[in-house]
Protein backbone atom coordinates (compact mmCIF):
# COMPACT_ATOMS: atom_id res chain seq x y z
CA UNK A 1 0.00 0.00 0.00
CA UNK A 2 2.91 2.37 0.71
CA UNK A 3 4.10 4.89 -1.89
CA UNK A 4 7.82 4.73 -1.08
CA UNK A 5 7.99 7.95 0.95
CA UNK A 6 8.66 8.14 4.69
CA UNK A 7 6.90 10.19 7.37
CA UNK A 8 9.21 9.94 10.33
CA UNK A 9 9.60 6.17 10.83
CA UNK A 10 6.38 5.33 8.96
CA UNK A 11 5.71 4.43 5.36
CA UNK A 12 3.57 7.06 3.67
CA UNK A 13 0.19 5.85 2.36
CA UNK A 14 -0.03 3.16 5.03
CA UNK A 15 -2.32 2.19 7.90
CA UNK A 16 -0.76 1.36 11.25
CA UNK A 17 -2.48 -0.38 14.16
CA UNK A 18 -1.61 1.09 17.54
CA UNK A 19 -2.12 3.85 20.09
CA UNK A 20 -2.12 7.11 18.13
CA UNK A 21 -0.55 9.08 20.98
CA UNK A 22 2.56 6.91 20.98
CA UNK A 23 2.63 6.73 17.18
CA UNK A 24 2.38 10.52 16.75
CA UNK A 25 5.26 11.11 19.15
CA UNK A 26 7.60 9.62 16.53
CA UNK A 27 6.56 12.19 13.87
CA UNK A 28 8.75 15.33 13.56
CA UNK A 29 7.26 18.79 14.19
CA UNK A 30 5.19 20.18 11.32
CA UNK A 31 5.77 17.07 9.18
CA UNK A 32 2.09 16.61 8.29
CA UNK A 33 0.24 18.91 5.91
CA UNK A 34 -3.14 18.37 7.57
CA UNK A 35 -4.73 16.29 10.31
CA UNK A 36 -8.39 15.54 9.60
CA UNK A 37 -9.99 13.25 12.14
CA UNK A 38 -13.09 12.19 14.07
CA UNK A 39 -12.00 11.02 17.55
CA UNK A 40 -14.19 9.18 20.04
CA UNK A 41 -16.50 11.68 21.75
CA UNK A 42 -16.78 9.71 24.96
CA UNK A 43 -20.57 9.44 24.76
CA UNK A 44 -20.90 5.69 24.29
CA UNK A 45 -22.11 5.77 20.68
CA UNK A 46 -19.84 3.03 19.36
CA UNK A 47 -22.65 0.50 18.94
CA UNK A 48 -26.35 0.37 18.18
CA UNK A 49 -29.23 -1.96 17.55
CA UNK A 50 -30.50 -2.33 14.01
CA UNK A 51 -33.66 -0.32 13.38
CA UNK A 52 -36.17 0.46 10.64
CA UNK A 53 -38.38 3.47 10.14
CA UNK A 54 -39.58 6.20 7.83
CA UNK A 55 -36.13 7.83 8.00
CA UNK A 56 -34.53 4.71 6.52
CA UNK A 57 -33.44 2.98 9.72
CA UNK A 58 -29.88 2.11 10.63
CA UNK A 59 -27.48 -0.79 10.65
CA UNK A 60 -26.71 -2.56 13.92
CA UNK A 61 -23.21 -2.56 15.47
CA UNK A 62 -21.66 -4.44 18.38
CA UNK A 63 -21.02 -2.35 21.50
CA UNK A 64 -17.24 -2.62 21.75
CA UNK A 65 -16.49 0.24 24.15
CA UNK A 66 -14.61 2.24 21.51
CA UNK A 67 -16.44 5.46 22.44
CA UNK A 68 -16.32 5.04 26.20
CA UNK A 69 -13.95 7.96 26.82
CA UNK A 70 -12.46 11.02 25.13
CA UNK A 71 -8.82 11.24 24.07
CA UNK A 72 -6.64 13.01 26.61
CA UNK A 73 -5.23 16.52 26.19
CA UNK A 74 -1.85 15.04 25.20
CA UNK A 75 -3.37 13.67 22.00
CA UNK A 76 -4.51 17.12 20.88
CA UNK A 77 -1.14 18.61 21.80
CA UNK A 78 0.55 16.09 19.52
CA UNK A 79 -1.90 16.80 16.69
CA UNK A 80 -1.21 20.54 16.89
CA UNK A 81 2.55 19.91 17.09
CA UNK A 82 2.81 17.87 13.90
CA UNK A 83 0.36 19.80 11.68
CA UNK A 84 -0.58 23.42 11.13
CA UNK A 85 -3.86 22.57 9.38
CA UNK A 86 -6.22 20.64 11.63
CA UNK A 87 -9.89 19.63 11.45
CA UNK A 88 -11.38 17.74 14.40
CA UNK A 89 -14.95 16.51 14.19
CA UNK A 90 -16.85 16.62 17.46
CA UNK A 91 -14.83 19.67 18.43
CA UNK A 92 -17.60 20.78 20.79
CA UNK A 93 -16.76 17.74 22.96
CA UNK A 94 -13.11 18.79 23.19
CA UNK A 95 -13.44 22.56 23.62
CA UNK A 96 -11.72 22.40 27.02
CA UNK A 97 -8.61 20.91 25.37
CA UNK A 98 -8.42 23.02 22.20
CA UNK A 99 -7.62 26.71 21.71
CA UNK A 100 -10.34 29.16 20.70
CA UNK A 101 -10.85 29.27 16.95
CA UNK A 102 -12.59 31.47 14.41
CA UNK A 103 -13.62 28.94 11.78
CA UNK A 104 -15.93 26.01 12.53
CA UNK A 105 -17.27 23.53 10.01
CA UNK A 106 -20.85 22.31 10.23
CA UNK A 107 -22.34 19.19 8.71
CA UNK A 108 -26.09 19.74 8.32
CA UNK A 109 -27.42 16.18 8.02
CA UNK A 110 -30.42 17.25 5.96
CA UNK A 111 -33.00 15.49 8.11
CA UNK A 112 -34.97 16.53 11.18
CA UNK A 113 -35.53 13.28 13.07
CA UNK A 114 -34.85 12.07 16.62
CA UNK A 115 -31.07 12.19 16.04
CA UNK A 116 -28.73 15.18 15.87
CA UNK A 117 -29.50 17.65 13.08
CA UNK A 118 -25.79 18.15 12.47
CA UNK A 119 -22.22 17.93 13.75
CA UNK A 120 -19.48 20.46 14.44
CA UNK A 121 -15.80 20.37 13.54
CA UNK A 122 -13.14 22.49 15.20
CA UNK A 123 -10.49 23.84 12.83
CA UNK A 124 -7.18 25.62 13.22
CA UNK A 125 -8.14 28.05 10.43
CA UNK A 126 -9.13 31.68 10.42
CA UNK A 127 -12.17 32.67 8.39
CA UNK A 128 -15.92 32.37 8.39
CA UNK A 129 -17.92 29.36 9.55
CA UNK A 130 -18.86 27.04 6.70
CA UNK A 131 -21.80 24.62 6.38
CA UNK A 132 -22.24 21.57 4.16
CA UNK A 133 -25.78 20.25 3.83
CA UNK A 134 -25.55 16.56 3.03
CA UNK A 135 -28.28 14.08 3.84
CA UNK A 136 -27.04 11.39 6.19
CA UNK A 137 -28.44 8.86 3.70
CA UNK A 138 -25.27 9.54 1.67
CA UNK A 139 -23.71 6.88 3.88
CA UNK A 140 -25.79 4.27 2.08
CA UNK A 141 -23.76 4.95 -1.06
CA UNK A 142 -20.51 4.37 0.84
CA UNK A 143 -21.65 1.18 2.63
CA UNK A 144 -21.22 1.75 6.35
CA UNK A 145 -18.70 -0.33 8.29
CA UNK A 146 -18.43 1.76 11.49
CA UNK A 147 -21.14 3.07 13.87
CA UNK A 148 -19.94 6.69 13.62
CA UNK A 149 -18.78 6.60 9.99
CA UNK A 150 -19.07 9.83 8.01
CA UNK A 151 -19.71 10.16 4.26
CA UNK A 152 -16.75 10.26 1.88
CA UNK A 153 -18.24 13.40 0.34
CA UNK A 154 -18.07 15.16 3.73
CA UNK A 155 -14.40 14.29 4.20
CA UNK A 156 -13.61 15.39 0.67
CA UNK A 157 -15.19 18.76 1.54
CA UNK A 158 -12.98 18.92 4.64
CA UNK A 159 -9.87 18.36 2.55
CA UNK A 160 -10.99 21.14 0.21
CA UNK A 161 -11.57 23.46 3.18
CA UNK A 162 -8.06 22.70 4.42
CA UNK A 163 -6.62 23.45 0.95
CA UNK A 164 -4.47 20.41 1.45
CA UNK A 165 -2.06 19.21 -1.22
CA UNK A 166 0.35 17.13 0.85
CA UNK A 167 0.10 14.34 3.42
CA UNK A 168 -3.11 13.91 5.41
CA UNK A 169 -3.00 12.12 8.75
CA UNK A 170 -6.02 10.65 10.49
CA UNK A 171 -5.03 9.28 13.92
CA UNK A 172 -8.50 7.78 14.48
CA UNK A 173 -9.32 6.25 11.10
CA UNK A 174 -12.18 3.93 12.09
CA UNK A 175 -13.21 2.40 8.76
CA UNK A 176 -10.85 4.71 6.84
CA UNK A 177 -13.16 7.29 5.25
CA UNK A 178 -10.67 10.18 5.51
CA UNK A 179 -8.06 8.06 3.75
CA UNK A 180 -10.51 6.99 1.04
CA UNK A 181 -11.35 10.64 0.33
CA UNK A 182 -7.66 11.57 0.24
CA UNK A 183 -6.74 8.73 -2.10
CA UNK A 184 -9.58 9.53 -4.48
CA UNK A 185 -8.22 13.08 -4.65
CA UNK A 186 -4.73 11.78 -5.44
CA UNK A 187 -3.26 12.81 -2.07
CA UNK A 188 -0.85 11.03 0.25
CA UNK A 189 -2.08 9.80 3.61
CA UNK A 190 -1.19 8.11 6.88
CA UNK A 191 -3.68 6.42 9.18
CA UNK A 192 -3.57 5.19 12.78
CA UNK A 193 -6.19 2.99 14.45
CA UNK A 194 -6.09 1.02 17.69
CA UNK A 195 -8.58 -1.63 16.54
CA UNK A 196 -7.05 -4.18 14.17
CA UNK A 197 -10.41 -5.21 12.72
CA UNK A 198 -11.07 -1.64 11.57
CA UNK A 199 -7.51 -1.37 10.23
CA UNK A 200 -8.26 -4.33 7.98
CA UNK A 201 -11.57 -2.83 6.83
CA UNK A 202 -9.78 0.43 6.00
CA UNK A 203 -7.06 -1.40 4.07
CA UNK A 204 -9.69 -3.21 2.03
CA UNK A 205 -11.46 0.07 1.23
CA UNK A 206 -8.19 1.66 0.09
CA UNK A 207 -7.37 -1.42 -2.00
CA UNK A 208 -10.73 -1.04 -3.74
CA UNK A 209 -10.01 2.63 -4.49
CA UNK A 210 -6.64 1.65 -5.96
CA UNK A 211 -8.23 -1.09 -8.07
CA UNK A 212 -10.86 1.31 -9.39
CA UNK A 213 -8.18 3.88 -10.24
CA UNK A 214 -6.19 1.27 -12.18
CA UNK A 215 -9.35 0.14 -13.96
CA UNK A 216 -10.26 3.61 -15.14
CA UNK A 217 -6.70 4.29 -16.29
CA UNK A 218 -6.86 1.12 -18.40
CA UNK A 219 -10.26 2.18 -19.71
CA UNK A 220 -8.90 5.57 -20.82
CA UNK A 221 -6.04 3.81 -22.56
CA UNK A 222 -8.44 1.48 -24.37
CA UNK A 223 -10.63 4.36 -25.51
CA UNK A 224 -7.62 6.11 -27.01
CA UNK A 225 -6.41 2.96 -28.73
CA UNK A 226 -9.87 2.43 -30.23
CA UNK A 227 -9.79 5.96 -31.62
CA UNK A 228 -6.27 5.59 -33.01
CA UNK A 229 -6.56 2.14 -34.58
CA UNK A 230 -8.65 1.53 -37.70
CA UNK A 231 -8.14 -2.21 -38.10
CA UNK A 232 -11.37 -4.09 -37.45
CA UNK A 233 -9.75 -7.05 -35.68
CA UNK A 234 -7.76 -4.91 -33.27
CA UNK A 235 -10.67 -2.55 -32.60
CA UNK A 236 -13.00 -5.50 -32.03
CA UNK A 237 -10.65 -6.95 -29.40
CA UNK A 238 -10.40 -3.60 -27.62
CA UNK A 239 -14.15 -3.16 -27.67
CA UNK A 240 -14.48 -6.63 -26.21
CA UNK A 241 -12.26 -5.69 -23.29
CA UNK A 242 -14.34 -2.56 -22.70
CA UNK A 243 -17.50 -4.66 -22.71
CA UNK A 244 -15.94 -6.95 -20.11
CA UNK A 245 -15.32 -3.95 -17.88
CA UNK A 246 -18.96 -2.96 -18.24
CA UNK A 247 -20.02 -6.44 -17.18
CA UNK A 248 -17.98 -6.00 -13.99
CA UNK A 249 -20.29 -3.06 -13.20
CA UNK A 250 -17.32 -0.78 -12.64
CA UNK A 251 -17.91 1.26 -15.80
CA UNK A 252 -21.20 2.70 -16.97
CA UNK A 253 -22.38 1.63 -20.42
CA UNK A 254 -22.69 5.23 -21.54
CA UNK A 255 -19.03 5.97 -20.77
CA UNK A 256 -17.64 3.74 -23.53
Q: Which pLDDT score, from 0 to 100, does residue 230 have? A: 56
Q: In the chain, where are the structural domains located?
A: 6-194, 211-255
* Residue 138 reports pLDDT greater than 50: yes
Q: Which pLDDT score, from 0 to 100, does residue 4 have? A: 83
CB–CB of 27/1 below 8 Å?
Answer: no
pLDDT band at 239; cut points 50, 70, 90: low
CA atoms of 84 and 91, how far apart (whole Å): 16
Q: Which pLDDT score, from 0 to 100, does residue 217 have? A: 57
Q: Which pLDDT score, from 0 to 100, does residue 252 have? A: 43
* Residue 45 reports pLDDT greater than 80: no
CA atoms within 13 A on the CB side of 189: 28
| pLDDT, averaged across the chain | 84
CA 224 to chain centre: 32
CATH architecture of 6-194: 3-Layer(aba) Sandwich (3.40)
Instruction: Please state the rounded mean pLDDT for residues 73-94.
Output: 97
CA atoms of 250 and 241, how far apart (whole Å): 13
Burial 219-237 (b: 16+ CB within 10 A, else e): beebeeebeeeeeeeeeee
pTM of the predicted structure, to 2 decimals: 0.78
* Residue 116 reports pLDDT greater than 60: yes
Residues in the chain, overall count: 256
CA dist 12 → 169, 171, 180, 189 (Å): 10, 14, 14, 6
- φ, ψ of residue 3 to 5 degrees: the values are -105, 0
Q: Which pLDDT score, from 0 to 100, does residue 254 have? A: 42
CA dist 101 → 86, 107, 125 (Å): 11, 17, 7
Amino acid sequence: MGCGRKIGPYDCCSIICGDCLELMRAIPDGCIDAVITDPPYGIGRDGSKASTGSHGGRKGYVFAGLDSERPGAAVFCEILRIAEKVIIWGGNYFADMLPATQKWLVWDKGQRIDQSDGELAWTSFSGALRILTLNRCALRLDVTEHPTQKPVKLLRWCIEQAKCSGVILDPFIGSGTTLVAARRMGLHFLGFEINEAYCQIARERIALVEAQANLFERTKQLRQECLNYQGEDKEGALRGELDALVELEMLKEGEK
